[in-house]
Amino acid sequence: MLDYLIKGGTIVDGTGAARYRGDVGVKDGRIAAVGKVEQAARETIDANGLVVAPGFVDIHTHYDAQVFWDPALSPSCYHGVTSMFAGNCGFSVAPLTAEGSDYLMRMLARVEGMPLQSLRDGVPWNWTSFGSYLDRVQEQRPAVNIGFLVGHSALRRAVMGAAAVDQPADPQQLAAMQQLLHQSLAEGGMGFSSSQAPTHNDGGGHPVPSRAADGAELIALSRCLRDHPGTLLEFIPTVGPFEERHMQLMTEMSLAAQRSLNWNVLIVNTGARAIYENQIQAADYAAARGAEIRALTFAQPVSLRLNLLSGFGLDALPGWAAVLGLPVPERMRALADPVTRARLIDSAAHPDVPVLLRAMGNFSAMTIEQTFAPQTKAYQGRALAEVAAERGQSPADAFFDIALADELRTCFLPRLGGDDEESWALRGAMWKDPRTLVGASDAGAHLDMIDTFAFSTTVLGEGVRKRGLLTLEEGVHQITDLPARFMGLKERGRIAQGWHADLVVFDPERVGKGKMDMRFDLPGGAGRLYCEAEGIHQVLVNGAVIVRNNQLTGQRPGRVLRSGQDTETVPIPAARG
């Protein structure tokens, strides 16, 4: 007898092949039958008028900490994600030394927008090795499947201690990092991730440890992956246009590892086409030299909520990191000081600021999205320039004064663009480009800043249903089989007999993301941006229903994915030839 019979649905199998009407039988966590299924089942799911698709795959999350206080890994689970990968951008929470947890907590609070109190209250920090961390995660019984890359900043901190943030590694330290990376990959790490992005600063306002590494260190660590099946690279080379040195470094990392490199992130916003044409050439540059580079790209326009409390994004502006790294009382005094303020305003307008960061210093184009003090409440939802005119101030001075009145909590929305028809057309072309992958959800990070976690329902709702940028088959392929094959997942990402029963049943006429709001449900009472999914009826992981009509069922059948065991090596084109 089957466990489930999903009856009479439109099957979109993930491969891009044409849809067809049929049934899917599930037994013992696997797809037991596909097509016309006559076997009896303990439960029958009526899928008439609905689509049955493979579970969605999210290759870029930061759920490394949240998994301990929210094993359901919401809101991703509601949006049909059944397999995901964390530890991106160099920010894993293992390996860990006895004194390292406080540093990593403060770093994650600053660079990934995870509330510090939530990290303290909700995470046990009771592991040292990467393997022991994976064991602790499995003990949580996650609802979905989740794998973790080994983060460069955690690795560097574990070996070099406080010197990791500003010193090159000596030969002995590099050898120790290589040994620790080998161990972490052997214990199930999915690969190696790193960042050299100027937006990435730690809790003290210093560059995160990975930014102190030179190219030789990155290449030497990448080479470790050759010895570990089912691994790959993830990297942030910079923010903004590429120079040849960025493309050369990623190419050499890919060649050293003999693995694909996924770089983060290709944005369709202000100046989109010029940046796209500049950055996408990295894939061709690598291919011509026998390497493989894939660009990760967003599923939607990016709306970035800025505040002076976390400081993320703003700290990439020249000279801002040192001020935003101060303790809050000192920071408030500095931001109220006319000399310090004038210096910050001038540096934000400097012509050398990368084009992708200029909106963060364009105070005249900002909206005040959320305020907190009684005296600022009337400003909420209004243009900063309009409010500034009423107050008889420049928009820059209003920006700082309103934030100070709110104890730095004010949420500002810069004008990033990317929601016009031309940008959407370019976004659709990018999704189809074989040099890209759609995703960049950042789920679990920047919790009060960005809403990109709903990438899967955005692709299906906005990209397929509303705008027709992709067919239904193409849209499902983009978020199932394509990322699963890139990551080397074994027997996931397709509806095929014998494969794992990770499945989503959804209404193609309603699928999309719901209304965005703030929920204050994190440890310590902190808030996060949140939205449920529209049109997602059932989500199955390893043959068990975890979500039914936007309600968790209580089943938590997910597993920690481990390299080699759950993934296989995907050769780069040079190795195929």
Q: What is the pLDDT of residues 438-473, one digit of tens each?
A: 999 999 998 878 889 999 999 999 999 999 999 999
Mean pLDDT of 530-540: 96
Mean pLDDT of 247-275: 87
Same domain membership, residue 338 and residue 467: no
Domain count, the chain: 2
Which has the closest alpha carbon to 303: 431, 446, 422, 514?
Answer: 446
Local structure of residue 49 (DSSP, 8 states) = T
Q: Cα-Cα-Cα-Cα dihedral of 178, 179, 180, 185, to 10°? A: 80
- Residue 428 lies inside a defined structural domain of this protein: yes
State the SS3 of 251-273.
Answer: HHHHHHHCCCEEEEEECCCCCHH
In contact, 259 and 224? CB cutoff 8 Å: no
Alpha-carbon distance values, 324 to 26, 307, 355, 447 (Å): 53, 10, 21, 19
Same domain membership, residue 371 and residue 458: no
Last residue of a domain, one of 351, 385, 413: 413
pLDDT of residue 493: 98
- Residue 479 lies inside a defined structural domain of this protein: yes
pLDDT of residue 271: 53
Same domain membership, residue 299 and residue 353: no
85-142 residue pLDDT tens: 999 999 999 999 988 999 999 999 988 989 999 999 999 999 999 999 999 999 999 9
The count of other CB atoms within 10 Å of the CB of residue 357 is 20
Cα 537 from Cα 384, distance rounded (Å): 41
Cα 388 from Cα 153, distance rounded (Å): 41
Mean pLDDT of 502-521: 92
At 200, which CATH number? Answer: 3.20.20.140
pLDDT of residue 576: 45
Same domain membership, residue 495 and residue 478: yes
Mean pLDDT score of the chain, rounded to an integer? 94
- Better-predicted residue by pLDDT, 333 or 199: 333
User: What phi and psi values does residue 463 have, to the nearest 5 degrees?
Assistant: -75, -40
Cα 353 from Cα 366, distance rounded (Å): 18
Split at pLDDT 50, 70, 90, the class of 275 is confident
Same domain membership, residue 391 and residue 360: yes
pLDDT of 30 higher than 90: yes
Split at pLDDT 50, 70, 90, the class of 270 is low
Same domain membership, residue 456 and residue 399: no
Cα 369 from Cα 213, distance rounded (Å): 38
Mean pLDDT of 224-230: 98
pLDDT of residue 577: 41
Same domain membership, residue 92 and residue 151: yes
- Residue 131 lies inside a defined structural domain of this protein: yes
Residues spanned by the domain of 250: 57-303+417-502+563-570
The count of other CB atoms within 10 Å of the CB of residue 126 is 10
pLDDT of residue 199: 82
Q: Which of 56-60, 175-179, 409-413 has the lowest mean pLDDT?
A: 409-413
- Residue 41 lies inside a defined structural domain of this protein: no
pLDDT of residue 239: 81
Strand 232-236 and strand 191-195: pairing? parallel
Last residue of a domain, one of 382, 413, 444: 413
Same domain membership, residue 363 and residue 349: yes
Same domain membership, residue 217 and residue 148: yes
pLDDT of residue 67: 98
Local structure of residue 364 (DSSP, 8 states) = G
pLDDT of 415 higher than 90: no
Three-state secondary structure call for residue 469: coil
Mean pLDDT of 78-84: 98
Same domain membership, residue 484 and residue 405: no
- Residue 495 lies inside a defined structural domain of this protein: yes
Cα 59 from Cα 234, distance rounded (Å): 10
- Residue 554 lies inside a defined structural domain of this protein: no
Split at pLDDT 50, 70, 90, the class of 515 is confident
- Residue 361 lies inside a defined structural domain of this protein: yes
Q: Which of 255-264, 297-306, 551-560 has the lowest mean pLDDT?
A: 297-306
As a whole-number percent, the residues of the chain with pLDDT over 70 amount to 98
Same domain membership, residue 289 and residue 183: yes
Cα 196 from Cα 180, distance rounded (Å): 21
pLDDT of residue 526: 85
In total, the chain counts a number of residues equal to 577
Same domain membership, residue 264 and residue 375: no
Mean pLDDT of 392-402: 96
Cα 85 from Cα 57, distance rounded (Å): 8
- Residue 113 lies inside a defined structural domain of this protein: yes
Give the angle 154-158-161 at the CA atoms, nearest 5°.
110
Write 66-71 long-range contacts (CB < 8 A, 24+).
Answer: 66/114, 66/122, 66/444, 67/137, 67/140, 67/142, 67/146, 68/122, 68/123, 68/124, 68/136, 68/137, 68/140, 69/118, 69/121, 69/122, 69/123, 69/522, 69/523, 71/140, 71/141, 71/142, 71/143, 71/556
Last residue of a domain, one of 346, 381, 413: 413
- Better-predicted residue by pLDDT, 575 or 453: 453
